[in-house]
Amino acid sequence: MSAPVYDLVDFDEVVEKFDPALGLEVHVELSTKTKMFCGCPTTFGAEPNTQVCPTCLGLPGSLPVVNKAAVEAAIRIGLALNCSIAPWCRFARKNYFYPDMPKNFQTSQYDEPIAFDGYLDVVLDDGETFRVGIERAHMEEDTGKSVHIGGADGRIHGAEYSLLDYNRAGVPLIEIVTKPILGTRERAPEIARAYVTALRDLIKALGVSDVRMDQGSLRCDVNLSLAPRGSGELGTRTETKNVNSLRSVERAVRHEMCRQAGVLLAGGEVVQETRHFLEDTASTRPGRRKETSEDYRYFPEPDLVPIAPSEEWIEELRATLPELPWARRARLQKEWQLSDEELRDLVNAGALDLIEATVAAGAPADDARAWWVAYLTQQANAREIPLDELPITPAQVARVIELVKSGELTNKLAREAVNGVLAGEGDVDEVVAKRGLAVVSDEGELVAAVEAALAAQPDVVEKIRGGKVQAAGAIVGAVMKATGGKADAKRVRELILERCS
Amino acid sequence: MSADPGATGPTLGRDEVAHLARLARLAVTEDELDLFARQLDSIIEWVAKVGEIAAADVPPTSHAVPLQNVFRPDELRPGLTQEQALAGAPASQDGRFRVPRILGEEQ
């Protein structure tokens, strides 16, 4: 079957002629120690099929048991999204045949999600708030991973056979579905991205998932339809999968708007289907036609009894909700007196938590900020790792700052001390001792070095005596060299000027 | 086929049986379509009788055991080794289950 090819429509024209309706489905992989229904580990990147058991392989006779930590995470996510929590709900079997699900059904929730009817207030770049309605958040399990062999670039199309790894099968997932997001107009791509960003930050703050889009622990499907501008109707939607970065969320929305408008303006019909996002071209290609929900023949999971969270349990969990990320950001911005731009830089650098922890360990906010966004960010970039994976703790950074404040380290020596910690040479004080980094505080040693430098450069001494105080810099440099950079430059200068007056 | 006089409830057609057979990945012959339509119809009819007795105040039963909130602590339990996991696989390669080409994904 070859579908007719339509031209993409310019984005401005799309907005002029159509109203977009967005719907976002986000899957969050929980970072519980074990899977949803069995005690297998969930760590990423293990050898294939080494984190499996009869239950997640769907072997006959195995029985699932619900992971309590996963239910708690689901309820906390629901509460953070201002949802109602179902007083009673069940799991359901979603039946389909696909090799990534060895049971031939996915254990999910159907018409009784654990959390429903909430909202998330999303702060946009210009400071405006947009409220996104949350339809539901439900519990389910992840599928295995397939590798397609023999086709072009590992794609399923034209593959000769596929290889399956079930380590991921059964890892707890929370699927969060928005209500139709209407009235976004030209801001639809931006709002989609801002929503997923806010959701990611919220879930990270809850500590229930590492929400790494690059590792698939947060995945987003974009539903989009267009209706004639002002008609108040809803058009036929497509669902775009494989949207694996925040930037891609924005690009996928934009592309589908332009593509669907092309179809509609040419008199064609949008096909209700799943599409795949192509990262390299920021476009989408058709996937399978959607099955209808009847085709999944959902029925209550007979092997799992209902879940009925008590009021007390829900309130206990509510009490564990952290400060919301945007509220926290606003508080820190005020406390640390940052401009919007400075704050954004900290957030983008992933430095906020680290700086806050460094401040908590006793460092002044300015110094903590300077260390993390300048030198340590450079070190992380050089190693091509995220800032929070640098092998130095906020407490260690706070100690370095303390030593600089007390005059025991110069800034240059402090950087060496940090290098030593990063190189795994031990704690800050150990590195200072081992590398001999302490400032030369022995006045006699310092005076001797100064006098030696003055004696070596009599011409400079003449200049200083003649009133050219800035010439002292050359002597300071010589003293620093002689002491291996361990002299306090300010004190050296004082000593030079005393002797040349 | 014609339904029994006085029978209530849905009458299952050949098309629906063919659709169900496809969803269940069952190869059903033309003759079987008629046979199964008749048989399934009578099963549905039989089950529907429950609805005649159960009033609105009787919630549908999904679980026979009156239990709820059965949970497991989030603690690791030993599973299978890769070798054990693949022991029953018709084919495997590189530590993974090998399955035939996945058809129908992009038709």
Contact predicate A472/A480, CB 8 Å: no
d(CA A301, CA A319): 31
Residue scoring higher pLDDT (A234 or A437): A234
Output the CATH code of domain A443-500. Answer: 1.10.10
Q: In which residue are the tokens 């001999």 written?
A: A436
pTM for the full predicted model: 0.79
Instruction: Give which of A295, A305, A311 to mutate to test B binding, by max B Cβ within 10 Å.
Output: A305
Contact predicate B76/A34, CB 8 Å: yes
- Dump pLDDT digits (tens) for B19-49: 999 988 899 999 999 999 999 999 999 988 8
Note which residues in 58-87 of chain B have CB less than 8 A from chain A.
62-63, 65, 67-82, 85-86
Among candidates A149, A140, A150, A147, which has minimal Cα distance to A166? Answer: A147
Q: In which residue are the tokens 């400075």 written?
A: A342
Which of A126-135, A163-172, A337-346 bottoms out in mean pLDDT, i.e. has the lowest?
Answer: A337-346
- In chain B, the domains with their CATH numbers are 14-53 (1.10.20.60)
B chain contacts of residue A49, beta-carbon cutoff 8 Å: 82, 85-86, 95-97
Among candidates A187, A177, A178, A179, which has minimal Cα distance to A257? Answer: A187
Q: In which residue are the tokens 């704050």 written?
A: A343
d(CA A440, CA A279): 56
Q: How many CB atoms neighbour CB A233 within 10 A?
A: 11
- pLDDT bracket for residue B10 (50, 70, 90): low
Cβ separation of B68 and A306 shorter than 8 Å? Answer: yes
Cβ separation of B101 and A162 shorter than 8 Å? Answer: yes
Quote the tokens at residue A198. 């806010």
Q: Is the pLDDT of residue B1 over 60?
A: no
d(CA A340, CA A127): 10
d(CA A367, CA A405): 10
Among chain A residues, CA nearest to B99: A162
φ, ψ at A418 (rounded to 5°): -65, -45
d(CA A356, CA A352): 6
Q: Is the pLDDT of residue A489 over 80?
A: no
Share of chain B above pLDDT 90, in %: 54
Cα four-point dihedral sign A407, A410, A415, A417: negative
Residues of chain A with CATH 1.10.10: 443-500
Considering only CB atoms, A33 lies closest to which of B23, B71, B76, namely B76
